[in-house]
Amino acid sequence: MSDAQVAEAKAVEPKGPAKASLFSRHENLTPLSIFIGFIIIIVLMQLYTQGLHKYPTFISPVNIFNIMQQVAVPGIVSVGMTFVMLSGGIDLSVGMLASLVSIIVANGISTWGLGVPVSIAMGIVSAVLLEGLMGFIISRTKVEPFIITLGGMITFQGLALLLCNSREVILNGELDFIKKNLIAGTKDPVTGLNLIIPPYVLGFFLVLMVGGLVLRFTKYGRRIYAVGTNRQAAYLAGISVKNTRLSVYLISGLLTGLGAIMLLSRINTGIVTLGQGLEIDTIAMVVIGGTALSGGKGSMLGTLIGIFFLGSIGNAMNMLRLPSEVQFVAKGLIVIIAVSAGDVSSRFGSFMARQREKAQVRKNAAT
């Protein structure tokens, strides 16, 4: 190598490793480390439950289908939350909005006698309108989304209580078609138990897939990332920042409405506690999936991992018969550990990348 070539190699090298290594491409490693943790937990659970005869083992079709049913509602809301958080916002109101929608729909069916389709439509439309109202304020003013949606959460709780006179509204299975088993009679070959796939689980997967495709393959998805990354630059690049920020709340409203109806059909009762804590679960799922609170970073694939990670841990803790108090502590710690582990691993990643660069430069200098 001539001197000039050496100089050139030195000049070019510090700009990052030329090969697309995992670490240079993925600065945010949260989903990856979560995924690894996920596999470890599954294996541990499997080993633990294998010896027990009373329960189905962890990795058995019946339990996997079970997990899907458990995560479908927070999952579908998480899809909306992913849109909101990628755009740089947050939505604390989804839990109470779900409660409100469930009470509107339950009332529509059993008290006001509007019939199932009209009641469902009414529930979803009100969810979209209410979120739209918050989105309008958020996108047109400088008030933090945190505050607006916190106010929304409290307001929706009050509205829900007013609409049900602080009592529960009981359904007689009018919404059972949403949870009807599509593969009735199919038995799990391992345990011999009945397998259940209701339509709402399929609906959840459909929404997740469409959400992922929209984010990755549409103009609209690009705009959300741009707005979440740098609002001023997005505005100067001709993106309507206001409308983009408004739209994510409309999506969140639509999906929260759908989630609320799924939840209502599972529980058969419209009650104000129905959506309690839903915002916590969904935000945790999205964050565990690697979406940054500051916006612009993350993906639907990450959210998918986050949904199933938290869902399976909840399921595992149920199987282990842990009391719900302990489950809360465990879930909270998992969020903290998972997200900081992601940060630590990405720091480790960039540290390794720097080391490799240094070694490369030294090697070039030596030759």
Partner 1 sequence: MGQILQLRNISKTFPGVKALQDISLDLNEGEVHCLCGENGAGKSTLIKILSGAYQPDEGGEIVFDDRRVTLTPRLALSLGIQTIYQEHIVFDTLSVMENLFAGAEIVAGGILNRREMRRQTVEALKYLKSGLDPDRKMRELTSGEQKTVEIAKGLLFKHRVIILDEPTASFSSAEIENLLEIVQAVKQSGIGIIYISHHLDEVFRVGDRVTVLRDGRKVSEHPMEGLSKSRLIKDMIGRDPSTFYQREKVEIGEPVFEARHLHGNGVQDISFVLRRGELLGISGMTGSGRSELLNLLFGSEPLLFGEIRVDGKAVRHGSPKSAIRNKLCFLTEDRQNTGLFLPQTVAQNVAVANLVNVKKFVVRPGEEVRRGDDYVRRLNIRTPDSRTRVVNLSGGNQQKVVLAKWFATDGEIYLFDEPTHGIDVGSKQEIYQVMVDLLRQGKAVIMVSSDLPEVISMSDRVLVMKGGRKVADLSGAEITEENILTYSIGDSAI
Which residues of this chain interact with partner 1, rule CB under 8 A? Answer: 12, 15-16, 18-20, 25, 27, 216-223, 225-226, 229-230, 232-240, 296-297
CB nearer to partner 1: pick between 234 and 304? 234
What is the spatial distance between Cα 188 and Cα 195, in angstroms, rounded to a whole number?
Answer: 6
For residue 152, what are the contacts with CB-CB under 8 A and spacing of at least 6? 92, 93, 96, 97, 130, 131, 134
What is the smallest separation between the CB atom of 328 and partner 1, expressed in angstroms? 34
Q: Tokens at residue 218, please?
A: 């549409």
Q: Which is nearer to partner 1, 4 or 20 (CB)?
A: 20
- With respect to partner 1, which residue has the nearer C-beta, 146 or 220? 220
How far apart are CB 11 and partner 1 at their closest, in Å?
A: 9
Smallest separation (angstroms) from partner 1 to the CB of 219: 5
Cβ distance to partner 1 smaller for residue 66 or 247: 247
Indicate the angle between helix axes 278-288 and 300-319, nearest 10 degrees.
120
Least distance in Å: CB of 261 to partner 1? 28
Shortest Cβ 44–partner 1 spacing (Å): 35
Q: Which is nearer to partner 1, 243 or 273 (CB)?
A: 243
Burial class (CB in 10 A: 0-12, 13-18, 19+), 330: middle
Q: Which is nearer to partner 1, 58 or 83 (CB)?
A: 83
CA dihedral 160, 161, 163, 169 (to 10 degrees): 90
Element (H, E) at 163: helix 145-163
Q: How far is the CB of 209 from partner 1 (least distance, A)?
A: 15
Cross-strand pairs, 194: 187
Identify the helix (H) or strand (E) that includes residue 269.
Answer: strand 269-270
Q: Which of 158, 172, 155, 194 lies closest to 65, judged by CA?
A: 194
The pair of structure tokens assigned to 239 is 């993106």
